[in-house]
Amino acid sequence: MYTVLIDEAGDVGLKDVKPDPSHGPTQYFCACATIIDEDNRRQIEETLAALPFFDEILHANRLGHFEKILLARTISKMPVGMFGLISNKLSLLKYLPDASKTPTHFYNKCLQYLLEKVGDALGKFGIPASEVRIRLEARAQRYSSLLSFIDSIQKNPLDHRAVALRNIDRFSITAVKKTDDACMPISDFGAHALFSTVRRDARAFGLSEPRYLYECKDRFLAGKDGSIVGHGIKAIHSLQDLTLPGETAAFFQELRNSKRDYWRL
């Protein structure tokens, strides 16, 4: 049995979004999915519980810089597979005009892209949908609309990548609190690491921090050349659409999983 845990970082709404640095809604939205073989759960939970700041790891943004680095290095040695998603909301305004009215449509579309990556991996590794449960961090979203949205895509995928959603049982998707699953901090941190790499808002003094993502990069699925972007990390709709500074874009282009089994979960 496998469990996929999904958490996010950044605001889900598109209304009043301004380019970074700004004090308003975040320009970027990130999400992370972590897949866990239940046979490894006890080992993973014990490793997390042994961290000296265990009581704070439910929310990565409450951790100090060195605590985050230690957590990233700890995750990098765990038997888990990770998938990430990064969206520059400004690049989607013309594609999703209705999304500025409600955050639900934007959230559902992002989850579609992330679950496509998960479904593609499940298919490649021969893991049946009946052996997978998917747990999302509960937010103020209409999750029934997400299930209906996925159902419509599964029945009539308009893109070849969307076919991978058929490897997922939509009825296995549930919304839970962070405290409902002791392994949720892994996805919380994964989303935070992605968000820290791209954010340049005023609250971060216009600065981004790629260190956390770099430290845990070996858990993200990669292609056979080790490249992570396009495999374990989905940029909507491309790395160019994220409109990142040159050094940050280069960081993603050069990001590699250094483990020999990087293409496996």
The mean per-residue pLDDT over the stretch 79-107 comes to 81
Q: Compute the chain's Rg from CA coordinates.
A: 17
Average pLDDT over residues 37-52: 96
Q: Percent of the chain, pLDDT > 70?
A: 94
Q: What's the pLDDT tens digit per position in 167-209?
A: 999 999 999 998 999 999 999 999 999 999 999 988 888 899 9
- Asked if pLDDT for residue 71 goes beyond 70, the answer is yes
Q: How far is CA 186 from CA 61, 136, 181, 211, in A?
A: 13, 13, 10, 16
pLDDT on residue 11:
85
Instruction: Name the pTM for this structure.
Output: 0.94
pLDDT band at 14 (very low <50, low <70, confident <90, very high): confident
Strand order in 173-176's β-sheet? 173-176, 132-137, 2-9, 28-37, 80-88, 233-236
Residue pLDDT, tens place only, 223-257: 989 999 999 999 998 999 999 999 999 999 999 99
Q: For residues 137 and 184, is the Cβ–Cβ distance under 8 A?
A: yes
**Contact yes or no for 219/75 (Cβ under 8 A):** yes
Both tokens of 148, joined, read 């209906």
- Nearest to 229, CA basis, from 208, 260, 250, 209: 250
Token code pair at residue 85 = 């998603």
Split at pLDDT 50, 70, 90, the class of 17 is confident
DSSP letter, residue 138? P
CB atoms under 10 Å from CB of 130, counted, come to 9
Domains of the chain by range and CATH? 2-254 (3.30.420.10)
Q: How confident is the model at residue 211 (pLDDT cuts 50, 70, 90)?
A: very high
Bridge partner list, 235: 86
